[in-house]
Amino acid sequence: MGLFDFFKNKGKETPKGLTLEECIVKMFSSAGIVPNQEGNKFATVVEGKHCVFNVALTSMDGNRLLVYVPFPIPVDANVAFAANYEVKRISKCSTDRFPGTNIYLTEKDEGYKIAVATIKDFDMLSENTPNEIQETMIHTVDVVDDKNFASLAAAIFGYKSYDDVKMNMQAKSTGGNNVSIQLKDGYHELLDKTPDLSNSRYGGRLMAYAIHIINKNDNNEVAERANEALQNSFDSFVQVVYDIANEEERDLMRKLRFLTKAKNEDDTNEDDFERGKMEGLIICNGNPWDLLYEDGNTNDMDMLEEEKLYKRLCAPQYKERPYEQRDLGEGMILVNQVIGEYWKPRYLLDNEAKCAYEFMSIDEVLQIVTDEDIDWDSMKGLPQDAFDRAKAHSFHFPGHVYQYKNGVAEVRWQLNPDGMYYRDEDGFGMTDDEEVNLYGAIDRKGKVVKKFTLEK
């Protein structure tokens, strides 16, 4: 922490009969700190990376020291189950590093509070005991500081990372030099965007997602531990998977856990749970985030693939980064996605027919084009690289889908960019490449109705 400069009087013997309480006093005295003291209890503050922590030290019978550090952010009762996954993950990681230390979530008044506590036994007291007390105090704070502070804050507020938390903070002046900080709640914002399914239905989807993560990792040891944990409780099962999940997966798991409590009071409907699990296993084969937004009320087995895709793309997440929607006119929408830091056209939505079509794959390959849709004769004399990109149906370079007119939209397909494309921000790297474009036209289903040709 860099806060204390201890033990200027090293080498002096500890007087006989020294108590643990006196060792605590000596620690603070050596650091030039005057703590708040009430009997055998001491209170001070330690500055962390993101905030200042209140720290309490208690000298107990038998030369036992208790160091207690409350986490500064309270936990809303509705998100306690979700946030507790992160608390237990950190607790597991901290046990090996700091024996005797435990981080836990407890109910306080109308909400919950996270705290970390360390109990340390001293077999005998010595001149080094004040130093051990200082190390114990700092180790205890470390459990909820830095990266762990960031991940706990993200779990409490309903975001993937602390960077996302800060992005959603808004400072407003309340007069004079006073500023009020407001933060959007990532959990409760879901309630306006997700379908009104039962708690049990979302619980089943959470289990399906946990199974999906186990299968993706192909880890038999984790699968065995998860099955054993399931004999204890549903949350124990999820916790095993949560501990091996990445940051984005943990965020989705927490949000699903929030929804298993937030929708209504019934969370014991076994039929709904099983239904959520079965539909969740299917949803996970596509985009797992649809576990939040897919209503599941329509029998997808009776729907055409383009109807299923349209339904999925109508979810709120496809209107927010890394996606955006652009109006092409005549009830047609183009869904762009950020790929390699650039906006690329991914899907066409027909709001009149309630159907959607994949324009380009995530690998930047056109899904609307076949070799028969290209006028190869017009491409004679082109550089081989450009010709190869046409053969591969690659839409890697900047292209454009124009507005619909009478059910048809023109498309510019760039096979080779101008040399300026390769120039870096300092102006270097420009080549002598010439821009090469093909032009064609598609209908409302994305079907090519005018072959792509070198001449517009």
Q: In the prediction, which pLDDT does 120 show?
A: 93
- Arithmetic mean of pLDDT, 224-243: 94
CA-to-CA distance for 440 and 425, rounded, in angstroms?
33
Q: Is the pLDDT of residue 404 over 80?
A: yes
pLDDT at 428 (0 to 100): 61
pLDDT on residue 171: 44
| Displacement of CA 76 from its chain's centroid (Å) | 19
Main-chain dihedrals φ then ψ at residue 201, nearest 5 degrees: -65, -45
Average pLDDT of 2-28?
Answer: 62
pLDDT, one tens digit per residue, over 145-157 is: 999 999 999 999 9
pLDDT, residue 7, reads: 35
pLDDT for the residue numbered 326: 95
| pLDDT of 301 higher than 70 | no
User: What pLDDT is attached to residue 183?
Assistant: 67
How large is the average pLDDT for residues 85-114? 88
Tokens matching residue 175: 């007069």
Cis peptide before 322 (omega within 30 of 0): yes
The pTM (predicted TM-score) of the whole model is: 0.63
pLDDT at position 430: 61
Per the CB < 8 A criterion, the answer to whether 160 and 151 are in contact is: no
Highest mean pLDDT among 162-171, 181-190, 302-311: 302-311
List C-alpha distances in Å: 32 to 18, 25, 26, 55, 176.
20, 11, 10, 17, 36
Task: Rounding to the nearest 10 degrees, give the CA dihedral for residues 22, 28, 34, 39.
Answer: -30
CB distance 214 to 222 below 8 Å: yes
**pLDDT grade, residue 180 (50/70/90)?**
very low
- Nearest Cα to Cα of residue 57 among 73, 43, 36: 43
Strand partners, 394: 365
Looking at residue 265, its pLDDT comes to 62
Residue labelled with tokens 């007291």: 125
Q: pLDDT at position 5, please?
A: 38
Give mean pLDDT, residues 190-208. Answer: 90
Coil, strand or helix at 183: strand
Q: What is the pLDDT of residue 161?
A: 87
- The whole-number average pLDDT for the span 19-45 is 91
Statement: residue 279 has pLDDT above 70: yes
Question: Do 94 and 49 contact (CB within 8 A), yes or no?
Answer: no
Predicted confidence (pLDDT) per residue in 413-436, tens digit: 999 887 565 555 655 656 666 788
d(CA 413, CA 407): 19
- With H, G, I as helix, E, B as strand and everything else as coil, classify residue 295: coil
Confidence of residue 99 (pLDDT cuts 50, 70, 90): confident
pLDDT at site 323: 87
Which DSSP symbol is given to 5? -
Contact predicate 115/103, CB 8 Å? yes
- 3-class secondary structure, 39: coil
Reply yes or no on whether the pLDDT at 377 is more than 50: yes
Amino acid residing at 252:
L
Tokens of 431: 């080549």
Lowest mean pLDDT among 107-116, 261-270, 360-369, 446-455: 261-270
Token pair, residue 47, equals 């500055």
**How large a percentage of the chain has pLDDT more than 90?**
57
Token pair listed for 269:
């409907």
